[in-house]
Homo-oligomer: A and B are copies of this chain.
């Protein structure tokens, strides 16, 4: 399956977190859960590099977690937007979403050394915005959750 971000047009593919054209970037990739295009949940996986630690070297940097969830949310919003408008992903003119609000609750430290499991579940889609619940899991435990509002760029 192609990731949501792989449908972004070239001009919008420079994101440090998820742009395929950013050679220094993290290249996060988001997909519908179980590759089911009717799902309301999208997932992404990412294993932080060794230097992406928080204050203590055994924990993942909270800022990286915010950044990954932000990219995953905007990718999910784009996929939800195409579905909302009844259009194929990647069809032109492209639908691009950007963050209006990102609110995160850090429930527990996130350990280094294992893949992070990111989830975005769609709560509301209008012609203007997508509202999502976000979760970050590591080692089968919920570490961070939050809410995000992505808005369609005009």
Contact = CB atoms under 8 A, between A and B. Distances in A.
A102 B145 CA distance: 11
A109 B106 CA distance: 26
Interface in A1-44: 8, 11-17, 19, 22-25
A25 to B, nearest CB: 7
Interface in A59-75: 61-64, 66-68, 70-71, 74
A14 B53 contact: yes
Given A63-B67, A67-B63, A98-B62, A56 B106 contact: no
Contacts of A103: 101-104
A26 to B, nearest CB: 9
Given A16-B61, A70-B66, A102-B103, A22 B8 contact: no
Given A63-B68, A63-B71, A66-B66, A53 B16 contact: yes
Interface residues of A, number: 41
A105 B100 contact: yes
B17 A63 contact: yes
B63 A16 contact: yes
B55 A15 contact: yes
A15 B100 CA distance: 27
Given A16-B63, A63-B68, 11 more contacts: A11-B56, A14-B54, A14-B57, A16-B52, A19-B53, A22-B51, A25-B51, A63-B66, A63-B71, A103-B103, A103-B104
